[in-house]
């Protein structure tokens, strides 16, 4: 898929913001966030610079897995509002220049979904083949995704005397995408939400979704979904959760030549190397990984993140590397989960050090690809370790220093989840105070977004790691026909001096620092030198002759 008109490839330079409606803003005072509350916070997101809102599941659900156990793909959970409220959110967001994407969770349903209720009622049920059944589980099977919760991928159903497949929890039976009727239903679900104005989907657990026993041509199916969305909307996007090595992720893009499957994929490999570099105060692991990251076709994109709504998985690190990160950022057992992940947010992991926190977010926005924020990151929210497992990072958004952090007027015991306490409580961390503080993290993130949006080469350009003798320093450049950005980040607490030698830059060339507007001139001889404070960072625009861009 080669394009000449790039006007519809909005995801190449987007700023994605993930939120859970139930923990974002409660407008009716019942203790649970709702769509009306979200609608009243869209101006805040537009002010921040968000261009795409990713809604975590808002569908009807028993809520045994935070909404990822769905009972009706066409509905809206009554606690959150109704279809009219959702359409108002979508319309208002578009009026503010923001698109809305939704979670597409079609690798499994809730065991309370009418399809499964029927399927387990009888082997002759018309919905029996909507799920995967076996007389006996395979002798060999992978380790469960949640090894502390499940000991098998198969669960015995007493009534019909067969086992059903569940790659996740036993209350989430896997859909059988080998069944054409299931694929037809998935297409109807996608079409329904796109008709209501949804601009695409974050596709949950893609390998588990398409790589099923007996299903031939899984990537053909993924291509058909991409084609279907393209027919429905020229700007539709599929953002895939594919936690695999880079060479395997390429297959889910469709390869370097076809590029007709997923539009975007999260860079789990790069994210894990960021944390290894932070733990070691050594940029080398990340620099080596970025240098090896495959270049993508024009229409595809990497999605970069520091935090998401799940555990911070470290499964692509070696056992020794993972232990290094645990020792640095999750030394207590309650901070770890599944033997592979961390259930903390970034600021507490970095001990609230504003230098390291800002360096990490500067890095995020300067990496080639599209940045993704999880709600509350922009103000430096912490986790609540009193909440179980990975839900510890899903506490209510902190809007003010008042009761319940301004999230709800309900009694604290009626909240859908308790607010964070200790040093990251709303009295210390909230959006209202930071909006009026020029030196706040919120305003720093807003500046980063502004500079990112003014630097289209980050989304479109050619990426190069620039060698540095200091292992603590990551220097990289991204360039295309519109400009060149050089980003510098110091992972260590000691100051460093960066030396840049770029053969194609003429002496006298102007270099502007985008984050503080300082200006320099490329020297007549020798390298261009730039000092960095401990945990320092710089974004440098190399101004080409005749360049009239605003810096």
For residue 150, the domain's CATH number is: 3.90.400.10
The predicted-structure confidence for 290-300, as pLDDT tens digits, reads as follows: 999 998 988 99
| Average confidence (pLDDT) over 405-430 | 97
The pLDDT confidence band at residue 479, using thresholds 50, 70 and 90, is: very high
Which of 34, 77, 174, 204 is flagged as catalytic? 204
Percent of the chain residues topping a pLDDT of 70: 97
What pLDDT is stored for residue 259 in this prediction? 80
Residue 99 clears pLDDT 50, i.e. is over it: yes
CATH number at residue 531: 2.60.40.1180
The predicted-structure confidence for 120-143, as pLDDT tens digits, reads as follows: 999 999 999 999 999 999 988 898
Residues 89 and 141 in one domain: no
| Average confidence (pLDDT) over 91-108 | 98
Q: Which residue has the tokens 């610079």?
A: 49
Residues 181 and 318 in one domain: yes
Determine the Cα–Cα distance for residues 539 and 511; give it in Å rounded to an integer: 10
In a domain, 3, yes or no: no
What pLDDT is stored for residue 174 in this prediction? 98
Residues 435 and 484 in one domain: no
Residue 3 clears pLDDT 60, i.e. is over it: no
Determine the Cα–Cα distance for residues 265 and 255; give it in Å rounded to an integer: 13
Question: How many CB atoms are located within 10 Å of the residue 466 CB?
Answer: 18
Residues 374 and 512 in one domain: no
Residues 161 and 183 in one domain: no
Backbone angles phi, psi at 86, to 5 degrees: -65, -45
Q: Which residues contact 521 (CB under 8 A, 6 or more apart)?
A: 508, 509, 510, 511
The pLDDT confidence band at residue 111, using thresholds 50, 70 and 90, is: very high
Domain span including residue 471:
461-543
Residues 206 and 73 in one domain: yes
| Cβ(271)–Cβ(317) below 8 Å | no
Residue 2 clears pLDDT 50, i.e. is over it: no
Residues 272 and 346 in one domain: yes
The predicted-structure confidence for 143-157, as pLDDT tens digits, reads as follows: 899 988 999 999 999
Boundary (domain end) residue, out of 98, 132, 165: 165
| Cβ(405)–Cβ(31) below 8 Å | no
The pLDDT confidence band at residue 471, using thresholds 50, 70 and 90, is: very high
Our answer to whether residue 519 is catalytic in this structure is: no
Residues 278 and 303 in one domain: yes
Q: Which residues contact 195 (CB under 8 A, 6 or more apart)?
A: none
CATH number at residue 202: 3.20.20.80
Boundary (domain end) residue, out of 429, 452, 475: 452
Residues 99 and 120 in one domain: no
Q: What is the Rg, in whole angstroms, of the alpha carbon atoms belonging to the chain?
A: 24
Q: How many domains does the chain have?
A: 3
What pLDDT is stored for residue 547 in this prediction? 66
Residues 312 and 217 in one domain: yes
The predicted-structure confidence for 170-203, as pLDDT tens digits, reads as follows: 999 999 999 999 999 999 999 999 999 999 999 9
Tell me which residue of 491, 165, 187 sits closest to 358, measured CA to CA.
491
The predicted-structure confidence for 224-251, as pLDDT tens digits, reads as follows: 999 999 999 989 999 999 999 999 999 9
Our answer to whether residue 88 is catalytic in this structure is: no
When the pLDDT of each residue in the chain is averaged and rounded to a whole number, the result is 95
Determine the Cα–Cα distance for residues 30 and 33; give it in Å rounded to an integer: 8
In a domain, 31, yes or no: yes
Residue 331 clears pLDDT 70, i.e. is over it: yes
Helix (H, G, I), strand (E, B) or coil at 358: helix
The length of the chain in residues reads 551
Q: 76 or 146: whose pLDDT is higher?
A: 76
Which of 111, 241, 310, 470 is flagged as catalytic? 241
Boundary (domain end) residue, out of 391, 419, 452: 452
What pLDDT is stored for residue 7 in this prediction? 59
In a domain, 416, yes or no: yes
In a domain, 551, yes or no: no
Residues 470 and 448 in one domain: no
Residues 385 and 366 in one domain: yes
In a domain, 199, yes or no: yes
In a domain, 2, yes or no: no
What pLDDT is stored for residue 4 in this prediction? 41
| Cβ(328)–Cβ(346) below 8 Å | no
């Amino acid at each position: 898929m080669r394009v000449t008109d790039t006007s519809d490839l909005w995801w190449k330079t987007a700023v994605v913001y993930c939120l859970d409606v139930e923990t974002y803003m409660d407008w009716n005072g019942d203790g649970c966030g709702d769509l009306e509350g979200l609608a009243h916070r869209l101006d805040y997101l537009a002010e921040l610079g968000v261009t795409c809102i990713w809604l975590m599941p808002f569908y009807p659900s028993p809520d045994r897995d935070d909404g990822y156990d769905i009972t009706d793909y066409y509905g809206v959970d009554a606690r959150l509002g109704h279809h009219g409220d959702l359409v108002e959110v979508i319309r208002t967001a578009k009026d503010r220049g923001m698109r809305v994407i939704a979670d597409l969770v079609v690798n499994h349903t809730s065991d309370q979904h009418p399809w499964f209720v029927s399927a387990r009622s009888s082997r002759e049920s018309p919905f029996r083949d909507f799920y995967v059944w076996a007389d006996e589980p395979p002798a060999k099977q992978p380790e469960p995704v949640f090894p502390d919760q499940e000991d098998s991928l198969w669960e015995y159903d007493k009534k019909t005397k067969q086992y059903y497949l569940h790659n996740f929890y036993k209350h989430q039976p896997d859909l059988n995408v080998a069944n054409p009727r299931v694929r037809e239903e998935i297409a109807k679900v996608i079409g329904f939400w796109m008709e209501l104005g949804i601009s695409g989907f974050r596709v949950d657990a893609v390998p588990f979704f398409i790589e099923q026993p007996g299903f031939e041509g899984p990537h053909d199916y993924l291509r058909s979904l991409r084609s279907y969305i393209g027919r429905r909307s020229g700007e539709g996007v599929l953002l895939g959760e594919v936690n695999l090595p880079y060479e395997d992720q390429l297959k889910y893009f469709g390869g370097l030549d076809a590029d007709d499957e997923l539009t975007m994929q999260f860079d789990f490999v790069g994210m894990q190397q960021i944390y290894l570099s932070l733990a070691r105060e050594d940029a080398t692991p990340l620099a080596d990984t970025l240098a090896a990251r495959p270049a993508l076709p024009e229409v595809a994109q990497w999605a970069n993140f520091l935090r998401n709504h799940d555990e911070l998985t470290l499964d692509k690190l070696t056992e020794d590397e993972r232990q290094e990160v645990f020792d640095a950022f999750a030394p207590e057992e309650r901070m770890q989960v599944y033997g592979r992940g961390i259930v903390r947010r970034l600021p507490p992991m970095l001990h609230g050090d504003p230098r390291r926190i800002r360096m990490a977010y500067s890095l995020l926005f300067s990496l080639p690809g599209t940045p993704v924020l999880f709600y509350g990151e922009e103000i430096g929210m912490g986790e609540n370790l009193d909440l179980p497992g990975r839900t510890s990072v899903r506490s209510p958004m902190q809007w003010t220093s008042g009761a319940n952090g301004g999230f709800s007027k309900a009694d604290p015991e009626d909240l859908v989840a308790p607010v964070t306490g200790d040093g990251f409580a709303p009295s210390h961390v909230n959006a209202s105070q930071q909006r009026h503080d020029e030196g706040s993290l919120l305003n720093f993130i807003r500046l980063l977004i502004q500079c990112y949006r003014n630097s289209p080469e980050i989304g479109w350009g050619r990426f190069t790691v620039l060698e540095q003798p200091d292992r603590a320093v990551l220097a990289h450049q991204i360039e295309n026909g519109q400009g060149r950005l050089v980003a510098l980040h110091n992972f260590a607490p000691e100051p460093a001096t960066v030396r840049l030698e770029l053969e194609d830059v003429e002496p006298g060339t102007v270099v502007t620092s985008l984050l503080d507007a300082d200006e320099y001139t490329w020297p007549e001889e020798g390298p261009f030198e730039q000092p960095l404070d401990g945990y320092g960072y710089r974004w440098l625009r190399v101004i080409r002759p005749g360049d009239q861009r605003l810096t």
